[in-house]
Amino acid sequence: MPIAPARTQVGIIGAGPAGLFLAHLLHRQGIECVILESRSHEDVENTIRAGVLEQWTVDLMLSLGLGERMLREGHFHRGITLRFAGESHHLDFEDLTGGRRVTVYPQHEVLKDLIAARLASGGEIHFGVRDVKLHDLNSKRPHITYTDENGQQQELHCDFIAGYDGSQGPSRQYVEGRTEYQHLYPFGWLGILVEAPPSHHELIYARHERGFALLSTRSPEIQRLYLQCGPTDNVADYSDELIWSELHQRLETVDGWTLTEGRIFQKGVIGMRSFVCDRMQHGRLFIGGDAAHIVPPTGAKGLNLAVADAVYLSRGLECFYRTGQQTLLDQYTNTCLRRIWKAERFSWYMTNLLHTNSTESPFEQRIRLADLDYLVHSQAAATALAENYVGLPLD
């Protein structure tokens, strides 16, 4: 038997970066919201995800009072190192962008901070929900029906719904008249976690004839590394010995730099794709995050794009509740898409620049190397890359 319907101003579907940041932004403005999440609390916090935060995302966390642990445990880099033809080239983002830098702080750690603060403030997050359905989206009183973790049928009535429920969530299917754009890349990443000290003080992006490699970090004791592989490769086919052999070859330098090995305790293969939904609202429903767009991880944009969606929607909702005007809400899709397509372009550029492709001709391979050589020797080109990497300003 259904329980009496609940009521809030904004119903948020999804406790990922977009949904949680939106909840905190609305809370700061005095707007009530409830978050519904299909995964358990433990699953959300224990899904290991890398994370590079743009400067404005870091600044936002600090302004919301959510950045204490990030400042204590995050890694702050002046820039990145590009490696090709056996040589390393440092791009100093702080110099190129007037002081902005790279913050390496994993996404799951960001989520832990946001969830803890949300619950400590008395905010509602309902984990383990299923059978989520949306109703009356073209009315002023939309509502959500779902089954809670105890098997009870529930209704949540609200003024607006934020469908920030990931690429497999139900929300996008309710956006009528949408066009979806997708690009599948002919390669994937084999990611590993390793018990070892850092081999380098910042991220290394390497292009090698055997394929791309990336060296990143999690903590002083745990490092994360990636190898370009086939998108459907089986992890079982990659022994530890094979992984270390490939990493050494792809990251090697002519000056004798060495990679520190350690115990590999996690392996996984991810495919790579770009995806954009060209309509992000329908009636009182607004979608964002992975529900609306996906980028390959090469450009480090995924989490930051999701948070930008939340910022834009919070501005529209704050204006609506303060003035009754829907202008910013009406502009939500176009505002978001301007940023999304720029991030898609940058991620596509970085991915194609650094990865090898069996369909590339020798001519195209030399063009990629010429592009890299130009990039590291041109201040204008390096500045353009740095500005995109540390984060373009919000509109």
Domains held by the chain: number: 1
- Is the pLDDT at 337 greater than 60? The verdict is yes
- Looking up tokens 């939500």 gives 332
The boundaries of the domain holding residue 173 are 6-75+105-180+274-346
Which of 200, 282, 301, 355 is catalytic? The answer is 301
- Residue 389 appears among annotated catalytic residues: yes
pLDDT higher than 70, residue 185: yes
C-alpha to C-alpha distance for 238 and 9, rounded to whole angstroms: 50
Provide mean pLDDT across the span 205-234: 93
140 is catalytic: no
Q: Is 181 a residue of the active site?
A: no
Higher-pLDDT residue of 273 and 218 is: 273
Q: Is residue 218 part of a domain?
A: no
pLDDT at 215: 95
Q: What pLDDT shows up at residue 205? A: 97
- Three-class DSSP category at 161: strand
Residue 312: inside a domain: yes
The chain-wide mean pLDDT, for the chain, equals 95
pLDDT in tens, 186-197: 999 999 999 999
Strands 10-13 and 130-135: unpaired
Contact (Cβ atoms closer than 8 angstroms) between residue 88 and residue 257: yes
Q: Is residue 302 domain-resident? A: yes
Residue 94 lies in a domain: no
Catalytic residue from among 185, 238, 312, 389: 389
Q: Tell me whether residue 108 is one of the annotated catalytic residues.
A: no
Q: Is the pLDDT of residue 256 over 90?
A: no
By mean pLDDT, which of 24-38, 309-323, 336-350, 355-369 is the weakest?
355-369
pLDDT at 3 over 70: no
Helices (H) and strands (E) in the chain, counts: 12, 21
| Annotated catalytic residue within 297, 312, 332, 355 | 297
The pLDDT of residue 1 = 45
- Does residue 205 have an active-site annotation? yes
Q: Please tell me which residue in 174, 205, 226, 312 is annotated as part of the active site.
A: 205
How far, CA to CA in Å, does 17 sit from each of 157, 181, 208, 310, 372? 23, 23, 33, 9, 33
Helix, strand, coil proportions of the chain in percent (round to 5)? 40, 25, 35
- Stretch among 41-50, 171-180, 272-281 having the lowest mean pLDDT: 41-50
pLDDT at 327 over 50: yes
Residue 141 lies in a domain: yes
Q: State which amino acid sits at residue 144.
A: I
| 91 within domain boundaries | no
pLDDT at 2 over 80: no
45: CATH: 3.50.50.60
363 assigned to some structural domain:
no
Average pLDDT, stretch 95-115?
94
Average pLDDT, integer, range 57-76: 95
Does the structure show a pLDDT above 90 at 122? yes
Catalytic residue among 27, 77, 208, 293: 77
